[in-house]
């Protein structure tokens, strides 16, 4: 079995300079050709049989050309989901069994290889739909979509199955400890389908375009430039600059992902803004065991449903008023409160518009990219390399979280401190509390976590 080159997305193995690795041709040949004896290791049927099983008719020349191509690709992906040496070793073992049994007149203990059922119990139909999607859909990072996007039809089908009469009849489940299992005949849960998807992922690979962290010098320069531009701009522009500066300070010092930054609650922050203002800085704040309960701090209040949680919750994080590098978090947040007050807002999203609606991450990215381009264009500036693609590399979505993690690592904070800071939501959730609607009730919890959250934010 063979499939022509270049019909489906295939990852290129390249070195750091983009040169295709010398085994690429060998890899493509393996993925585009079947393996002798594979029919003994995986469920296999030809294209004609599959069209008959799925459509209840024979193949029609011309009409079914793409259909046949997708079935062939699915068969090859299923073969690619098993190592070639494993398939060959299994086939050799089967042949040895046949020869040995022939020598003393025994019928080999091999289950019949057919006839196959006139149906689709393994999910070939869904696999074909996924493969066709990979041909026609345009990717955001690469020319074609990647495997993570291609597999979405599987999730759609699984939901449809669960809500169908067949799925409802399979509603019972059993568990051991915290693990729960459900017996199902859903085709996309078959072994063949899993093997096919493993082969597709191997073929397509994964190309990440994750946000990069920014050096602290760049962050400080951005905040300095924003601060200098605020008094020179009209009110409606200066207000947005204040919000972006505050969002940078909050995202970095609280180690928040982009969507979490925009969950900051205006009323919650305003209610607690006075607490920690008159704090006293300890002599050695990073020394283990130092009492940080009275250190200068400010509270970040978040409201919403965070990833991994069910229902709307309120959270409070106590962070340093001023960081070791000089980021004046308190100044930025107090300036934000003044701006929101001028806009007539005293509750709702802290990062929002005058009408109370929340701000868009993409708009804040636009302002961030504007300042990064200015820094990149400065003569003799080596803070951002000329070849850096700013729009692709830096975003509110992950840049500040990754920058915070880098700073904490450089400062020598242990992995346990970093994990605790990045999992403060789990620490709160572990106490089994339900959603509350009085931010003051969270104040004591935030103070208990200050040895982690304050120290982590201070090293930024």
State residue 305's pLDDT score. 53
What pTM value is reported for the model?
Answer: 0.66
Contact 224, 332 (CB under 8 A): no
Residue 359: both structure tokens together? 């701000």
Give the range of the structural domain holding residue 291, as residue numbers without chain letter: 216-458
The answer to whether 265 touches 437, Cβ cutoff 8 Å, is no
One domain, residues 394 and 261 = yes
Cα 10 to the chain's mean position, in Å? 22
| pLDDT band, very low/low/confident/very high, at 292 (cuts 50, 70, 90) | confident
What is the pLDDT at residue 142? 60
Q: Are 355 and 407 within one domain? A: yes
- The whole-angstrom distance between residue 355's C-alpha and the CA centroid of its chain comes to 32
Q: Give 322-342 pLDDT, tens digit per residue.
A: 999 999 999 999 999 999 999
Helix (H, G, I), strand (E, B) or coil at 371: helix
Q: What's the CA gap between 14 and 204, in Å, rounded?
A: 14
Segment 362-372 mean pLDDT = 93
Residue 5 clears pLDDT 50, i.e. is over it: no
The answer to whether residues 47 and 144 belong to one domain is: yes
For residues 225 and 135, membership in a common domain is answered with no
- Pairing mode of beta strands 179-182, 297-304: unpaired
- Establish if 200 belongs to a structural domain: yes
* Pairwise pLDDT comparison (117 vs 447), residue with the higher score: 117
* 262 assigned to some structural domain: yes
Domains held by the chain: number: 2
Domain-located, residue 177:
no
Give tens-digit pLDDT for 206-253. 665 678 899 999 999 999 999 999 999 999 999 999 999 999 999 999
Tell me which of 337-346, 352-361, 364-373 is least confident: 352-361
- Whether residues 225 and 367 share a domain: the answer is yes
User: pLDDT (tens digit, 9 = 90+) per residue, 374-431?
Assistant: 999 888 778 888 888 898 889 999 899 999 988 988 888 877 777 767 655 554 444 4
Q: Residue 104: is its pLDDT beyond 50? A: yes
Note the pLDDT of residue 137: 82
Mean pLDDT rounded to a whole number for the chain: 84
Q: What is the pLDDT of residue 135?
A: 87
The pLDDT assigned to 388 comes to 85
| 18 located within any domain | no
Helix segments in 302-449, DSSP class H: 329-342, 361-377, 390-393, 399-410, 415-422, 424-429, 443-448
What is the CATH number for 308? 1.10.443
pLDDT of residue 384: 87
- Indicate whether 105 and 222 sit together in one domain: no
């Amino acid at each position: 079995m063979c499939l022509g080159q270049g019909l489906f997305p295939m990852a290129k193995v390249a070195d750091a300079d983009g040169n295709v690795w010398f085994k690429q041709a060998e890899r493509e040949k393996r993925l585009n050709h079947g393996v002798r004896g594979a029919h003994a290791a995986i469920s296999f049927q030809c294209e004609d049989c599959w069209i008959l099983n799925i459509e209840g008719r024979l193949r029609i020349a011309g009409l079914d050309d793409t259909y046949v191509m997708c079935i062939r690709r699915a068969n090859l992906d299923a073969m690619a989901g098993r190592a070639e040496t494993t398939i060959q070793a299994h086939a050799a073992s089967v042949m040895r069994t046949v020869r040995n049994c022939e020598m003393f007149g025994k019928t080999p203990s091999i289950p019949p290889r057919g006839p196959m059922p006139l149906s689709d119990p393994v999910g070939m139909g869904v696999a074909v739909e996924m493969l066709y999607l990979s041909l026609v859909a345009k990717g955001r990072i690469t020319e074609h979509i990647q495997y993570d996007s291609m597999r979405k039809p599987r999730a759609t089908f699984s939901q449809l199955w669960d809500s169908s009469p067949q799925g409802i009849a399979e509603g019972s489940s059993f568990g051991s400890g915290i693990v729960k299992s459900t017996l199902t005949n859903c085709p996309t849960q078959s072994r063949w389908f899993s093997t096919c998807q493993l082969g597709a992922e191997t073929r397509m690979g994964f190309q990440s375009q994750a946000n990069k962290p920014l050096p602290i010098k760049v962050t400080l320069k951005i905040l300095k430039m924003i601060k200098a531009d605020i008094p020179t701009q009209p009110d409606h522009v200066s207000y947005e600059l204040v919000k972006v500066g505050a969002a940078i300070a909050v995202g970095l010092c609280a180690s928040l992902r982009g969507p979490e930054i925009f969950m900051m609650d205006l009323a919650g922050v305003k209610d607690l803004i006075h607490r920690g203002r008159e704090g006293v800085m300890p002599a050695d704040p990073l020394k283990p065991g130092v009492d940080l309960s009275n250190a200068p701090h400010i509270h970040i209040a978040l409201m919403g449903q965070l990833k991994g949680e069910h229902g709307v919750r309120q959270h409070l994080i106590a962070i340093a008023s001023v960081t070791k590098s000089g980021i004046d978090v308190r100044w930025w947040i107090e300036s934000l409160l003044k701006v929101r007050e001028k806009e007539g807002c005293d509750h709702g999203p802290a990062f929002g518009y005058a009408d109370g609606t929340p701000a868009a991450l993409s708009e804040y990215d636009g302002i961030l990219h504007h300042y990064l381009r200015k820094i990149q264009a400065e003569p003799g500036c080596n803070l951002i390399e000329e070849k850096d693609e700013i729009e692709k590399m830096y975003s509110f979505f992950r840049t500040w979280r990754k920058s915070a993690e880098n700073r904490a690592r450089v400062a020598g904070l242990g992995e346990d401190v970093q994990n605790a800071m990045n999992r403060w939501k789990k620490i709160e959730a572990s106490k089994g509390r339900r959603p509350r609607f009085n931010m003051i009730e969270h104040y004591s919890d935030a103070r208990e976590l200050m040895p982690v959250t304050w120290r982590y934010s201070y090293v930024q």
